[in-house]
Amino acid sequence: MLRIGHGYDVHAFAEGRRLVLGGVEIAHTRGLAGHSDADVLTHALMDALLGAMREGDIGQLFPDTDPAYEGADSLVLLGHVASLARARGFAILDVDCTVAAQAPKLAPHRAEMRRRIAAAMGVDVDQVGVKATTTERLGFVGREEGIEAWAVALLDDGRC
Ligand code: MG
């Protein structure tokens, strides 16, 4: 039976932080604030997978009060979620993500994000979509206060 999951996340920009999106470090004047590496795209994707698995959310699985996840590489956490999915009998069929950022330009990094996300989940790169958009300078994204991301995931639970 097919299962669908949706995920959403936001992180605010902060001085003196790295900008990591889809596991790719991108040169920019600021990075995103967060307990882990603040990879907002990968966080949305993990929540999409967990949604399809009906396994809560990443806040439950990787609490930001736990020092173990301080500065954590979100792709490693994504690998844990993908392993958990397989352990529960799910096959990851397809995922698609959208990230909204006014700056920097993300299009040049999309292919590498897809490669890294696919490798972390143990799927083919053609099973991973990544799209980027600005918000035409509207809202908190348009004011360059932060970045938001959405993801959907299609899983097969292995049952008829
Ligand atoms: Mg997050």
Over residues 76-85, the pLDDT tens digits come to 999 999 999 9
42 CA from centroid of ligand 1 (Å): 8
Beta-carbon contacts of 40 under 8 Å, excluding residues fewer than 6 positions away, are: 9, 10, 11, 21, 32, 34, 99, 147, 148, 149
Q: Residue 19: pLDDT band by 50, 70, 90 thresholds?
A: very high
For the whole prediction, is pTM greater than 0.85? yes
The C-alpha torsion from 122 through 18 and 57 to 150, rounded to 10°, is -80
CA distance 118 to 130: 11
- pLDDT exceeds 90 at position 122: yes
39 CA from centroid of ligand 1 (Å): 7
Ion ligand 1 neighbours, Cβ < 5 Å: 9, 43
40 CA from centroid of ligand 1 (Å): 5
Helix/strand/coil for 138: coil
Helix/strand/coil for 149: strand
Model confidence over 24-62: pLDDT tens digits? 999 999 999 999 999 999 999 999 999 999 999 999 999
86 CA from centroid of ligand 1 (Å): 23
The predicted pLDDT at position 115 comes to 98
R_g (Cα) of the chain, nearest Å:
15
CATH code of 2-156, in short, is 3.30.1330.50
Mean pLDDT of 147-151: 98
Domain ranges for the chain = 2-156
